[in-house]
């Protein structure tokens, strides 16, 4: 038996890759190249040897800073490109490789050029805005002035004079300048300020003006016709043109100050109509001029941006790589002579030749005199866990890793999860109609694999896409289980021949009262379609599914315990085999293994025995006669033996292990203290690695309490975990009942009417319910329950899951994150 197990071919996924701790001594001149080759290879995980140093005290901090600066510039380009509304093209770039220094210079040039272009266009935009505003003010304010003018002529003489005087000054000069010249009528007369302000501020502006002048003013406003670009946020804002009439010098300063405070731009408007026309003409012509300049500027800038956008992705990638290389170099230590860098890290053993080859290449390419020294070292901490997965197994490995990363070289549950997970899912989701729907979805995802993996997906699609092979297996298994349950959208089909049952008479009147009679061999595969709709459908299916759940559960838990045996063998801990694996196996199988046996016997013999009764009275009164519940000869003595075995197994798994550990410890301790001379050589050999490095104080009470918790958990868990597998039955029942309801109460009901519309409504409701409730919600819940069964009921039998993942320094993983 032992031989046989040893000779089994090694499973790749069962144990994580053998890792080794290596040291690299790299001459400074080839360090950068060596690290970047290693990054391309991506099979070495560096350890940070400078963890105590803050980031800016490390050796290559300047290079890192330069990279950060460059990526800032690239981000600036990206923002500019997206602001300009250009799409950064992802053409294959034909430009030859450039090195970092050149790139830095290029980037700086580009940035400089862009900033200059921006400032130019900003300046033009600013004057353009001003002119545009002026135009608006002219258009609107003239209207106010005319109306107020006619008003004034009718009512007041003085006003007229004043306007006249205003005309005199207000041709080309701005209002501010006007103010400086003291006019005789300025102090007393009515004057005005015209300008433009953001619409959102207009109301508050008016209120403030009212308060400041104590109501002695007239505020006219009209919305501007065009939207104006806000230079800061480059958003279009609505503006309002206003004209304020007031009197007095004091008010004027106040109003101008308020205008300034509110960011309102004031523009002078001449009163004379000919002047107005002249200015309007001038403004319009200059506007047109500026517009062409602005357009030319924008075109020029877009061209520059497009040429940058052409290379941006590649540059970004390059800068990121460089930064990663320098970050890694920062993890290395200088040796004493300052001529070499010393690095430490983990790598899988199979990768050693590849790494060596890459290092040699680096030495050769950088014309270094001295090669890189690469050798294996002893490590104190436990190695990282690294499974080589492919695109099929990776999703299943993810499912396991989500619970906890396997301890180094521990048995990996993912191996079995590949089959058991979709199978348990399917037990709960057994319907081959729904299964086919899922299968189509999975196939679509797989067929478009290469296309989908290249593009960026939303979080939900990402998840779905990542689990496409899980989905595929889940759908295949649910088609299988659906065939067993004989359900197609809850409708049974006669696929494998006719039913084994028929009516008692031709009228078939007693179908739902007395039942059918069996007249030929059982239905060859799965559930007989005649059960459907019969009175005993539910009791029959429930008992079937419940028993099946128990069987599946017991099998899976046994598999878990078996894996703990393989673990113990692998780590050659006979203690765990003798005092943990054996009693656990006995305990579980003497109770629930026996129950499974009874189930199988009952199925085979067709006996009417009550299994509840058997199991309960096995504990309550084991010596009593079983009576009609007896399934086979010698059942009673067997039960007594099994019960005794189970009772013995509990103290067996509880007591011996901690005591033996204690004895071993004291022996070792004594050997160390007194028997050094005689036994030292042997002692050192025998001791496992970990014990030598960590002289932990052996705390008996702690070990004992731990063992107690473990044993109690197992004993209670055996009962509750078995019961927990009944969720297989419960969810399967829920699924089939739900789909029956949707089929019968929606689709068939609607089909009963002879109206096209009602049928259509019924069909669409049925389709939506099937898609969203059955295919999405039910899939999700069955998935979660399958997940729970694996994480809790199965993995707690053997899985420690306290390792850490192997994270090699690799360029491939760098480009994925960010952006």
Partner 1 sequence: MYGFEAMTFNIHGGYLEAIVRGHRSGLLTAADYNNLCQCETLDDIKMHLSATEYGPYLQNEPSPLHTTTIVEKCTLKLVDEYKHMLCQATEPLSTFLEYITYGHMIDNVVLIVTGTLHERDVQELLEKCHPLGMFDSIATLAVAQNMRELYRLVLVDTPLAPYFSECITSEDLDDMNIEIMRNTLYKAYLEDFYRFCQKLGGATAEIMSDLLAFEADRRAVNITINSIGTELTRDDRRKLYSSFGLLYPYGHEELAVCEDIDQVRGCMEKYPPYQSIFSKLSYGETQMLDKAFYEEEVKRLCLAFEQQFHYGVFFAYMRLREQEIRNLMWISECVAQNQKSRVHDSVVFIF
Q: Is 234 in the site for partner 1 (CB under 8 A)?
A: no
Q: Which one, 258 or 814, has the nearer CB to partner 1?
A: 258
List residues bridging with 193 in a β-sheet.
Answer: 244
**Whose CA is closest to 140, among 178, 192, 189, 176?**
192
Q: In the chain, count H helices and then E strands.
A: 31, 13
Cα–Cα nearest to 328, from 315, 341, 338, 317:
341
Closer residue to partner 1, CB minimum distance, 208 or 645: 208
Stretch that binds partner 1, among 55-63, 98-106, 311-319, 380-388 (CB under 8 A): 55-63
Give whichever of 209 and 516 is closer to partner 1, judged by the CB atom: 209
Neighbours of 87 (CB within 10 A): 9
CA distance to 81, 187, 244, 386, 410, per residue, from 16 (Å): 46, 94, 82, 5, 7
C-beta of 100 vs 208, nearer to partner 1: 208
Residue among 64 and 474 whose Cβ is closer to partner 1? 64
Of 65 and 352, nearer to partner 1 (C-beta) is 65
**Quick one: 234 or 337, whose CB is closer to partner 1?**
234
Site map (CB under 8 A) of partner 1, residues 73-92, x = contact = --xx----------------
Single out the residue of 5, 57, 225, 448 in contact with partner 1 (rule: CB under 8 A).
57
Tell me how far, at minimum, the Cβ of 463 lies from partner 1, in Å: 25
* β partners of residue 140: none
Residue with structure tokens 């609607």?
750
Distance CA 40, CA 59 (A): 23
Beta bridge partners of 45: 346
Residue placing its CB nearer to partner 1 in the complex, 211 or 692: 211
Q: Do 402 and 394 contact (CB within 8 A), yes or no?
A: no
Output the smallest distance, CB 73 to partner 1, in A: 8
Say how many residues touch partner 1, by CB under 8 A.
23
Q: Which is nearer to partner 1, 55 or 637 (CB)?
A: 55
- Is 60 buried (19+), middle (13-18) or exposed (0-12) by CB count in 10 A? buried
Q: How far apart are CA 232 and CA 25, in angstroms?
A: 54
Residues with Cβ within 8 Å of 623's Cβ and at least 6 positions away in sequence, in order, are 636, 640
Q: Which DSSP string do the residues of 124-159 spell out, in sequence order?
A: HHHHHHHHHHHHHHHHHHHHHHHHHHHHHHHH-HHH
Nearest approach, Cβ of residue 114 and partner 1 (Å): 12
Element (H, E) at 37: helix 28-41
Which residue in the set 13, 25, 61, 476 belongs to the binding site for partner 1 (CB under 8 A)? 61
CA gap 152, 790 in Å, rounded: 91
CB of 218 to partner 1, least distance (A): 19
Place of tokens 């349950």: 485
Question: Do 217 and 246 form a contact (C-beta atoms < 8 A)?
Answer: yes
Contact call for residues 384 and 806 (beta carbons, < 8 A) = yes
Closest contact distance (angstroms) between CB of 629 and partner 1 is 54
Closer CB to partner 1, residue 111 or residue 401?
111
Q: What is the largest CA-CA distance in the chain?
A: 132
Indicate the residue among 62 and 536 with the shorter CB distance to partner 1. Answer: 62
Q: Tell me the closest approach of the beta carbon of residue 327 to partner 1, in angstroms.
A: 12
Q: How far is the CB of 80 from partner 1 (least distance, A)?
A: 12
Nearest approach in angstroms of CB 166 to partner 1 is 24
Q: Is 67 in the site for partner 1 (CB under 8 A)?
A: no
State the nearest-atom distance from the C-beta of 182 to partner 1, in Å.
22
CB of residue 23 to partner 1, shortest distance in Å: 28
Between CA 587 and CA 650 the distance in angstroms is 7
Least Cβ distance, residue 146 to partner 1 (angstroms): 31
Task: Look up tokens 């239905």; give the residue.
Answer: 523
- Shortest distance, CB of residue 252 to partner 1, whole angstroms? 12
Q: Which among 69-77, 180-188, 271-279, 555-563 is the span making contact with partner 1, rule CB under 8 A? A: 69-77
- The whole-angstrom separation of Cα 518 and Cα 533 is 16
Q: In angstroms, what is the minimal distance from the CB of 60 to partner 1?
A: 12
How far is 313 from 721, CA to CA, in rounded Å? 53
Site of tokens 């052996």: 698
Decide if residue 68 touches partner 1 (CB under 8 A): yes
- Residue in the structure block whose two tokens are 């709960």: 428
Tell me which of 11, 40, 72, 784 binds partner 1, using CB under 8 A: 72
Minimum distance from residue 390 beta carbon to partner 1 (Å): 36
* Selected range binding partner 1 among 66-74, 500-508, 615-623, 639-647, rule: CB under 8 A: 66-74
| Closest C-alpha to 790, from 737, 703, 727 | 727
Query: Which residue's CB is nearer to partner 1, number 260 or number 365?
Result: 260
Instruction: Select from 321, 314, 240, 382 the least CA-distant residue to 63.
Output: 321
CA atoms within 13 A on the CB side of 410: 25
Encoded one letter per residue, x for contact with partner 1 by CB under 8 A and - for no contact, window 245-284 reads ---------x--xx-xxx----------------------
Sign of CA dihedral 434, 440, 441, 442: positive
Other beta carbons less than 10 A from residue 405's beta carbon:
22
Site for partner 1 in 193-232 (CB under 8 A): 201, 204, 208, 211-212
| Residue whose CB is less far from partner 1, 57 or 284 | 57
Binding mask 143-182 for partner 1 (x = CB under 8 A): ----------------------------------------
Q: Which position has the token pair 């009197």?
A: 247
Q: How far is the CB of 212 from partner 1 (least distance, A)?
A: 6
How far apart CA 193 and CA 174 sit, in angstroms, is 10
Cβ nearer to partner 1, comparing 183 with 248: 248
* SS3 label, residue 503: coil
Give the number of other CB atoms < 10 A from CB of residue 741.
12
* Calpha distance 12→390 (Å, rounded): 11
- CB of 326 or CB of 794, closer to partner 1: 326
Of positions 21, 50, 65, 787, contacts partner 1 by CB under 8 A: 65
Considering the complex, what minimum distance in angstroms separates the CB of residue 330 from partner 1? 12
**How many C-beta atoms surround the C-beta of residue 130 within 10 A?**
15
The region of 70-78, 465-473, 687-695, 696-704 touching partner 1 under the rule CB under 8 A is 70-78
Q: The tokens of 288 are what?
A: 């047109």
Among 56, 460, 612, 756, binds partner 1 (CB under 8 A): 56
CB closer to partner 1 out of 76 and 540: 76
Q: Give the other-Cβ count within 10 Å of 50's Cβ.
A: 15
For partner 1, the closer of residues 76 and 659 by Cβ is 76
**Site map 544..573 versus partner 1, x via CB under 8 A:** ------------------------------
Residue listed under structure tokens 């189970």: 646
Least Å distance, CB 815 to partner 1, is 19
Looking at 53-61, 433-441, 528-536, 538-546, which segment touches partner 1 (CB under 8 A)? 53-61
CB of 52 to partner 1, least distance (A): 11
Pick the closer one to partner 1 by CB: 207 or 613. 207
Q: Which residues bind partner 1 (CB under 8 A)?
A: 54-57, 61, 64-65, 68-69, 72, 75-76, 201, 204, 208, 211-212, 254, 257-258, 260-262
């Amino acid at each position: 038996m032992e031989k046989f197990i040893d000779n089994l071919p090694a499973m790749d996924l069962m144990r994580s890759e053998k890792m080794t701790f290596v040291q690299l001594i790299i001459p400074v001149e080839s360090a950068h190249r060596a690290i970047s080759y290693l990054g391309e290879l991506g099979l070495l995980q560096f350890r940070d040897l400078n963890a105590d140093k803050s980031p800016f005290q490390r050796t290559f901090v300047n290079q890192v800073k330069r990279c950060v600066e460059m990526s800032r510039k690239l981000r600036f380009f990206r923002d500019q490109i997206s602001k300009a509304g250009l799409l950064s093209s992802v053409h294959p770039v034909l430009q030859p490789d450039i090195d970092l220094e050149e790139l830095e210079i290029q980037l700086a040039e580009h940035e400089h050029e862009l900033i200059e272009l921006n400032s130019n266009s900003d300046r033009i935009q600013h004057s353009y805005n001003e002119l545009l505003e002026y135009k608006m003010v002219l258009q609107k304010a003239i209207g106010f002035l005319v109306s107020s003018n006619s008003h004034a002529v009718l009512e007041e003489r003085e006003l007229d004079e004043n306007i006249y005087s205003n005309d005199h000054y207000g041709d080309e000069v701005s209002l501010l300048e006007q103010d400086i010249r003291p006019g005789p009528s300025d102090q007393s007369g009515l004057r005005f300020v015209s300008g433009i302000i953001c619409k959102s501020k207009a109301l508050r502006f008016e209120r403030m003006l009212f308060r400041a002048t104590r109501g002695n003013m007239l505020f006219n406003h009209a919305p501007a016709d065009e939207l104006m670009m806000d230079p800061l946020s480059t958003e279009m804002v609505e503006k309002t043109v206003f004209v304020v009439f007031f009197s007095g010098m004091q008010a004027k300063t106040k109003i101008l100050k308020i205008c300034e405070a509110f960011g309102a731009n004031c523009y002078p408007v001449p009163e004379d109509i000919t002047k107005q026309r002249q200015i309007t003409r001038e403004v319009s012509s200059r506007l047109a001029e500026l517009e062409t300049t602005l357009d030319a500027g924008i075109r020029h800038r877009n061209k520059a941006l497009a040429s940058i956008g052409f290379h941006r992705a590649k540059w970004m990638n390059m800068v990121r790589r460089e930064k990663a290389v320098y970050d890694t170099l920062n993890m290395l230590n200088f040796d004493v002579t300052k001529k070499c860098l010393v690095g430490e890290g983990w790598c899988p053993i199979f990768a050693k030749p590849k790494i060596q080859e890459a290092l040699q290449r680096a030495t050769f390419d950088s014309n270094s005199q001295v090669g890189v020294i690469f050798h294996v070292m002893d490590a104190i901490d436990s190695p990282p866990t690294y499974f080589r997965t492919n695109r099929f197994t990776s999703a299943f490995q993810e499912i396991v890793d989500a619970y906890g990363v396997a301890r180094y070289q521990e048995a990996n549950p993912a191996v079995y999860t590949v089959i058991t997970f979709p199978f348990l899912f399917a037990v709960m989701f057994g319907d081959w109609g729904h299964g086919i729907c899922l299968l189509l979805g999975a196939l679509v995802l797989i067929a478009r694999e290469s296309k989908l993996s290249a593009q960026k997906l939303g979080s939900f699609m990402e998840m779905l896409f990542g689990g496409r092979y899980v989905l595929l297996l889940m759908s295949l298994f649910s088609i299988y289980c659906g065939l067993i349950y004989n359900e197609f959208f809850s409708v049974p089909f006669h696929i494998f021949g006719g039913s084994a049952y028929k009516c008692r008479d031709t009228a078939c009147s007693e179908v739902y009262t007395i039942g059918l009679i069996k007249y030929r061999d059982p239905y060859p595969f799965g559930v007989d379609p005649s059960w459907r709709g019969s009175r005993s459908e539910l009791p029959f299916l429930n008992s079937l599914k419940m028993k099946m759940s128990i069987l599946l559960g017991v099998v899976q838990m046994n598999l878990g315990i078996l894996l703990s045996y393989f673990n113990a063998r692998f780590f050659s801990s006979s203690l765990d085999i003798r005092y943990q694996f054996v009693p656990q196996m006995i305990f579980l199988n003497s109770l629930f293994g026996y129950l499974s046996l009874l189930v199988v016997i009952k199925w085979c013999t067709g006996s009417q025995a009550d299994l509840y009764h058997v199991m309960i009275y096995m504990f309550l009164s084991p010596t009593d006669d079983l009576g009609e519940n007896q399934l086979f000869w010698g059942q009673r003595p067997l039960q007594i033996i099994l019960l005794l075995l189970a009772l013995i197994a509990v103290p067996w798994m509880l007591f011996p292990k901690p005591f033996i550990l204690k004895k071993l410890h004291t022996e070792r301790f004594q050997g160390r203290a007194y028997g050094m001379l005689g036994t030292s050589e042997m002692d050192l050999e025998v001791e496992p690695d970990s014990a030598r490095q960590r002289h932990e104080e052996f705390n008996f009470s702690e070990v004992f309490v731990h063992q107690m918790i473990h044993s109690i958990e197992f004993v209670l868990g055996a009962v509750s975990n078995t019961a927990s597998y009944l969720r297989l039955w419960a969810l399967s029942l829920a699924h089939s009942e739900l789909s029956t309801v949707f089929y019968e109460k929606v689709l068939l009901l609607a089909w009963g009417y002879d109206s096209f519309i009602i049928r259509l409504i019924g069909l669409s409701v049925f389709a939506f319910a099937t898609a969203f409730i059955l295919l999405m919600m039910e899939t999700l819940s069955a998935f979660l329950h399958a997940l729970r069964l694996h994480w809790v009921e199965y993995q707690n039998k053997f899985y420690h899951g306290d390792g850490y993942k192997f994270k090699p320094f690799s360029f491939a993983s760098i480009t994925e994150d960010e952006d």
